[in-house]
């Protein structure tokens, strides 16, 4: 129990209780919705704004500790040595466990494959991640030293990642650069958005092929923000095709979600210092989406409309 002071007034109750408990905001908000907090004796909503003199009572239990267990799941290993792995993640597979998804993840499969991995148990060995419905190449460290070195390389943008993606619609500018800082969407905690106070983010894109009402692009990341490609193209008005969060599902795609595939990965080996590069073609459901889009007009076109190039 506490009384709201002048200094702590004006903010939401879920934000203040997140600060006081140290738990995640999503966990705190869920507890509040379940009746775990009251203001002046009345049940509160997570969005309740606190005023000076408010009496706040709360009982919020700590979230259960997740145990990450090895699971013998299908795993497409593209490369492996004593230091690292490169895997080709399937669309629909969650990268690592969370309180909303505790098993059947890539990390569960990796632990069954390797026996042990360094780092945070929930993100064991992961140098970076992919969204659940994004397929493609992921880099995994097998030693503490490799995880440190590759993590530093990722922060300094030395690891090169290229994607293939389909966007809904035909952008006026078919080659360009999107710059827009990304942060949490204040209206939907499941989404991210371009925000003035967000983290710097840059996406490069070039035309691969154009359809009647969709476009396939080659995409290169300078930065690696959560949902970066999806947020950037949604902000332009051309969301990733079949994206259930930033766009809409389309019956022409058999994919479980957004048509986005991480198809190229390049980096320097942390021990041998050799430059390594890998490619993985998109999965059959992605290719089937391209076929279905082409059937709508008898085949794709690569003709460019006259438009200013972005940059």
Q: Residue 63: which of 106, 18, 107 has the closest Cα?
A: 18
Within 8 A by CB and 6+ apart from 105, the residues are 93, 94, 95, 96, 97
Distance CA 119, CA 141 (A): 9
- Which residue of the set 14, 54, 131, 133 is catalytic? 131
131 an active-site residue? Answer: yes
Whether 289 contacts 242, CB under 8 Å: yes
* Residue 166 in tokens: 């389909």
Whether 127 contacts 106, CB under 8 Å: no
Distance CA 291, CA 293 (A): 5
Antiparallel, parallel or unpaired: β 192-194 and 275-279: unpaired
Task: Calculate the CA 161 to chain-centre distance.
Answer: 14
Whether 229 contacts 219, CB under 8 Å: yes
- Greatest extent of the chain over all pairs of C-alpha atoms, in Å: 69
Helix and strand counts by DSSP (H, E) for the chain: 6, 15
Would you name the residues annotated as active-site residues? 131
């Amino acid at each position: 129990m506490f009384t709201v002071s002048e200094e702590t007034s004006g903010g939401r109750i879920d934000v203040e209780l997140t600060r006081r408990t140290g738990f995640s905001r999503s966990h705190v908000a869920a507890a509040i919705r379940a009746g775990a907090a009251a203001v002046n004796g009345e049940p509160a909503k997570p969005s309740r704004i606190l005023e000076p003199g408010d009496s706040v009572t709360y009982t919020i239990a700590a979230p259960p500790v997740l145990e990450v267990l090895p699971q013998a799941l299908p795993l497409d290993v593209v490369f492996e040595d004593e230091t690292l792995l490169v895997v080709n993640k399937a669309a629909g597979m969650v990268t690592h466990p969370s309180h909303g998804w505790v098993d059947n993840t890539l990390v569960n499969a990796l632990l069954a494959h390797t026996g042990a991995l360094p780092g945070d148990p929930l993100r064991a060995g992961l140098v970076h991640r992919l969204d659940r419905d994004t397929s493609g190449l992921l880099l995994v460290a097998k030693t503490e030293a490799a995880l440190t070195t590759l993590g530093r390389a990722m922060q300094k943008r030395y690891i090169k990642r290229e994607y293939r993606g389909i966007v809904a619609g035909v952008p006026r500018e078919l080659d360009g650069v999107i710059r827009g800082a990304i942060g949490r969407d204040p209206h939907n905690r499941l989404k991210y958005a371009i925000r003035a106070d967000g983290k710097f983010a840059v996406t490069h894109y070039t035309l691969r092929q154009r359809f009647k009402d969709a476009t396939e692009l080659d995409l290169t990341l300078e930065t690696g923000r959560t949902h970066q490609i999806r947020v950037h193209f949604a902000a332009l008005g051309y969301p990733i095709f079949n994206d259930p969060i930033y766009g809409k599902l389309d019956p022409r795609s058999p994919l479980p979600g957004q048509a986005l595939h991480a198809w190229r990965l390049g980096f320097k080996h942390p021990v041998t210092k050799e430059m390594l590069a890998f490619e993985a073609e998109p999965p059959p459901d992605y290719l089937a989406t391209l076929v279905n889009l082409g059937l709508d007009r008898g085949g794709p076109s690569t003709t460019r409309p006259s438009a200013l190039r972005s940059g």
